[in-house]
Amino acid sequence: MLIQVCLYFYCKFLWRCLKFVMRKLTGRCELQRICYNTKPGASRTMKIETSLRDSKSKLLQTSVSVHPDAIEKTIEDIMELKKINPDINPQLGISLQACLLQIVGYRNLIADVEKLRREPYDSDNPQHEEMLLKLWKFLKPNTPLESRISKQWCEIGFQGDDPKTDFRGMGLLGLYNLQYFAERDSTAAQQVLSDSLHPKCRDITKEEISKFSKAEWEQKRMDKAIGYSFAIVGINITDLTYNLLVSGALKTHFYNIAPEAPTLSHFQQTFCYLMHEFHKFWIEEDPIDIMEFNRVREKFRKRIIKQLQNPDMALCPHFAASEGLINM
C-alpha cells in the first residue's frame, strides 16, 4: 500500500515537471495546448475536464462546478491566472467556454435526472395521471382505456392493473422516458410494442443453417420467438441509461452531440435510441425464455460501454446536430 502511494505521488511529480517543461518549450499552458491541438467534441472536453480537475489551482478545480451564468467570468479569471492575453488568443476563451458549458451542463443534467428518479409516482397528482393516460393514448390510439384501474395496462407491458406500482424503482423518470418515446417517436414505439407482443424469429443466415443437423434445424423452425413486457423493459432501459449517465460513460456521447450543455431532451433521446437498439439486440440474441433477460441486458450494456470508450462515438447523432460542433 505504501509503495502504491509513493508511486502515485512520484508520477504526479513527474507529470507536473513535464507540464512545466512543455510550457517553457511551447510558450503555452496545458489548456492552450489541448484547445489548439485537439479537435472539438469529447476528446477536447474530457481532456480539459481532467486538466481542470487535477490542477493544483483552486480556481481551476472549482471551475468545473460553477453556475452556468458564472462561466464567462470564470474563463476571464482563468485567463488572468494563466497570464494569457485574450486579445492575442481570442479563440482560447471561446473554446474554453464551449468545454465548460458541456462539463457544467453534464453535472446539472445528472441533478435534473436524479430529481425525477427520486420523485415517486403519485396517483393523486393530476399531472402524473395525465402523463400516464397520455402514454396509453400514444401507444394504443385506436383502443380506448376502459378504466384507470384495468387489466388493459398489461397490453403495453405493465405487470398489473395499476402501473403506479411498476414505477417504484425509477420514479417519474421511467414514465417521462416512456411517454417521450411514445409521443416523439410514436410509429417506432408502436412497432416495438407490437413486436414485443408478437415476436418474430430473426432471419437465420445460410452459414448458421449449415451448422445445424436436420433434427436441430426442424426444432429451430418450430421454436417460438420470445417477447417481453414493453413498459417494464422501458423502465429497465431507463435504469441502464441513468447508470451510464451517473458513471460518466455518456460523457463521450453527450460531448460529441451537444455543442453546449446537454439537456434532459438529450437524455431522453438517448433512451429512445437504447430502446431501439435493445429491441434489435433481443431479436438477434433469440433467447430461450424471458428468464434470460438479465443475461441479454448485461451483454447489451457491455456492448454500449465498449462503444462509448471511443472518444469519437455519438450513439444517436441523428437526434442532434452533430455538425454543430464548430472547430474552435
Tell me: the pLDDT tens digits for 44-60? 999 999 999 998 899 99
What's the first-to-final CA gap in the chain, in angstroms? 44
pTM: 0.83
- pLDDT at residue number 272: 94
pLDDT value for 85:
87
| Ordered DSSP codes for 250-262 | THHHHHHH-SS--
What distance separates the 2 farthest-apart alpha carbons in the chain?
Answer: 78
Contacts of 183-189 spanning 24+ positions with Cβ under 8 A: 183/134, 183/138, 184/268, 184/272, 185/272, 186/138, 188/272, 188/276, 189/138, 189/139, 189/275
Q: What is the reported pLDDT for 198?
A: 80
pLDDT at 290: 87
Q: What is the pLDDT of residue 193?
A: 94
Give 22: exposed, middle or buried? Use CB within 10 Å, 0-12, 13-18, 19+.
Answer: middle
Describe the chain by its helix, strand, coil percentages, rounded to 5: 70, 0, 30
Q: Which amino acid is at 257?
A: I
CB 68 within 8 A of CB 111: no
> Which residues have CB under 8 Å from 295's CB, separation 6+?
287
As averages over each run of 10 residues, the pLDDT of the chain (328 residues) reads 57 49 56 91 95 92 93 92 85 92 96 97 95 96 94 94 93 96 93 86 50 49 70 97 98 92 94 94 89 94 96 73 35
Residue 71's Cβ-side half-sphere holds a number of Cα atoms within 13 Å equal to 20
Determine the pLDDT at residue 199: 72
Helix axes 264-285, 230-247, angle to 10 degrees: 120
Q: Which of 168, 24, 17, 27 is nearest to 84 (CA)?
A: 27
Hey, is 51 helix, strand or coil? helix
Calpha distance 256→130 (Å, rounded): 35
| 23 in Cβ contact with 31 (< 8 Å) | no
Residue in 151, 71, 6 with CA at minimum distance from that of residue 143: 151
| SS3 assignment, position 142 | coil
Query: 3-class SS at 95?
Result: helix
Dist. CA 161–CA 29, nearest whole Å? 62
Residue 16 pLDDT: 53
